[in-house]
A and B are shown apart, each in its own frame.
Chain A
Amino acid sequence: MSDLPERDVPRAMHDLGGVPRYMCEAIDTEPHELTDFDREVDAIRQILGAKKVMSVDELRRGIEALPEAEYLRLSYYQRWTRSITAILLEKGVFSEAELRAALETSA
C-alpha cells in the first residue's frame, strides 16, 4: 500500500505522471511526420536560443502556463508558438500592437 498522503493538491496540466486515467491507454511510439509548420516553429526556437533571446527552459515554462483547455486543443508545435509569443511579449521583444499589425499584414 502507498504510504503517501492523499493528493488533493492541484497539478499543472503537463505534470501527468502516475495519473490513473492514462494507465489504460497504449502509448503511440510510432514516429510521425513533421509538417512544414512544425519545422518552421522549431527553426524559430533554435534561432532565438542561438541568439540568446530565449532559452528552452523559458519555452517550457510558457507551455506549462497555457490554460488547460488551450493546452489540450493545440498541437505540440502550436503550443510552442503560444509560448514563444508570450515570452517575447513578456521580454518586450515586440509589443501587442506590433504583433497585431504583423498578423494583419501577413493575413
Chain B
Amino acid sequence: MIAPGTPVRVREDWPETRGRCHIRTPHFLRGATGRVDRHLGDFPNPEDLAFGRPAVRLPLYHVAFDASTLWADGKPEAELLVELYEPWLEVLP
C-alpha cells in the first residue's frame, strides 16, 4: 500500500500503441509526477474486466497533480485529483 503524501510518477507506458486494450490512465498523465492523496479501496482490474478475463483486485488511489506541471498555462493553485491503479504508479524516493 502506498501511504498518503508519497510522491509518485505515473508509468510512461502506451498500451494503446500495442493493440487492443482498455486503460483508465489518461494520456496526459503518463510520465507525470504527483502525490498520493489517499487509498480509495481495492477493485478488480478494469483492464482485465474489459476482456472478460479473471481480474485481480488492485489498490486504487486518488493521486493529486499540480496543473502547472502538466500544462504550460496550468495555474499553480489548480490541483487535479485523479483515480489511478497501483500498477500505474512508481514510488519516488
Given contacts A2-B70, A4-B32, A18-B26, 6 further A-B contacts (CB under 8 A): A2-B71, A7-B28, A10-B16, A55-B50, A60-B50, A64-B22
The reply to whether B50 and A57 form a contact with Cβ atoms under 8 Å apart is yes
In the assembly, what is the distance between CA of A64 and CA of B19, in Å? 12
In the assembly, what is the distance between CA of A64 and CA of B76, in Å? 32
Nearest to B21 among chain A residues (CB) is A61
Nearest to B74 among chain A residues (CB) is A2
Residues of B within 8 A of A4 (CB): 31-32, 69-70
Interface contacts (Cβ under 8 Å), in number, total 60
Residues of A within 8 A of B52 (CB): 54-55, 58, 91
The reply to whether A17 and B22 form a contact with Cβ atoms under 8 Å apart is no
The reply to whether A15 and B49 form a contact with Cβ atoms under 8 Å apart is no
Interface size class of A (residues with CB under 8 A): 20 to 34
Is A26 engaged at the interface, CB distance under 8 Å to the other chain?
Answer: no
Known: A4-B31, A18-B28. A61 touches B70 (CB 8 A): no
The reply to whether B50 and A1 form a contact with Cβ atoms under 8 Å apart is no
In the assembly, what is the distance between CA of A57 and CA of B43, in Å? 13
Partner of B27, one of A3, A15, A57, A65: A15
Residues of A within 8 A of B28 (CB): 7, 17-18
